[in-house]
Amino acid sequence: MSGEFSAGALIELVVPESHAGSRLDWFLAQQLPQYSRVHLRRAINAVGVKVEGHRAKASHRLRVGQHVSMVLPDLPRVGPVPENIPLDILFENAEIAAINKPPGMVVHPAKGHWEGTLTSALAFHFENLSAAGGPTRPGIVHRLDRDTSGVLVVAKTDASHMRLAEQFEQRTTEKEYFAIVVGVPDRDRDLIDLPIGPHPSHREKMAVRRGRPDSRESQTFYEVIERFDGFAALRVLPKTGRTHQIRLHLAHVGFPVLCDRLYGGRARITRGELSRDGSDTSVVLERQALHARRLKIVSPTTGEPLEFVAPLPADLTHALDEIRRYRPR
């Protein structure tokens, strides 16, 4: 089968004698070399492939003369396409780079986000990036959520990638976040120690899940920097690095991150809501108020400590100023 067919096209194949007894996924991989067998197996499970008009599994054994029909899936993305996207580079040497990621930027390509990612920007700006994270994540050792800004370290070589990954895994890195939360903690500081696992019904979310085999221990320390009327500014030091950990932990104890759509139930706040003047609909903030302010690691080459600090971005500075103005304690 040549490459004249494009994604979305309906194709029909007849099983030749040479493929009698072959598995369906293997047969399709031979006829469609532009797709890997794994990619085709996923397509069979998700979209469906018909043999003699009936949907069949990837393991189905074929007979001579049978008709196989399927809609061609999208071609797999091999890696990010370099894009000339400006980067705020905090630090760079031959082994690593530290980036101040802006809010709204997805770290690596995924369904629905193939362009405008951090990896596309990295591929344009840096000649060398580690391949240890896989073809879609060159240089990426750890990640930040799309709407979380701040420090993210990138590996340029596989050796530095492995050493950095080991530091994150062994929790020898030191991470500090800034957050504005809804609600006012009565304690000046506290440690949230609650296990995290997949949400039982919401695919996008994580949840506090005790006594589950797929849950993992998670600890988040926070300290109150400033209190307001109905809001607070926090310094947050996560001890572990689970998906959505800070957002979930703070929401679970009653102080969701401001404008956190997923865990706080709202994605924006207006000046009128702060001033209690319903006529003012000016948007103050429309992304979660979470910023990775500081990251401390050990150099993967020299063993010396390295610390990177990302200043508070303009949108969070503006939100903080507005809260101070309209909601003083």
Contact status, residue 65 vs residue 275, Cβ threshold 8 Å: no
Q: How far apart are CA 261 and CA 101, in angstroms?
A: 20
d(CA 121, CA 81): 9
Residue tagged active-site, from 145, 147, 260, 315: 145
- In the block, tokens 């596989």 appear at 158
Nearest to 165 by CA among 153, 177, 176: 153
Q: Is 145 a catalytic residue?
A: yes
Whole-number Å distance between alpha carbons of 281 and 265: 19
Q: Which residues are catalytic?
A: 145
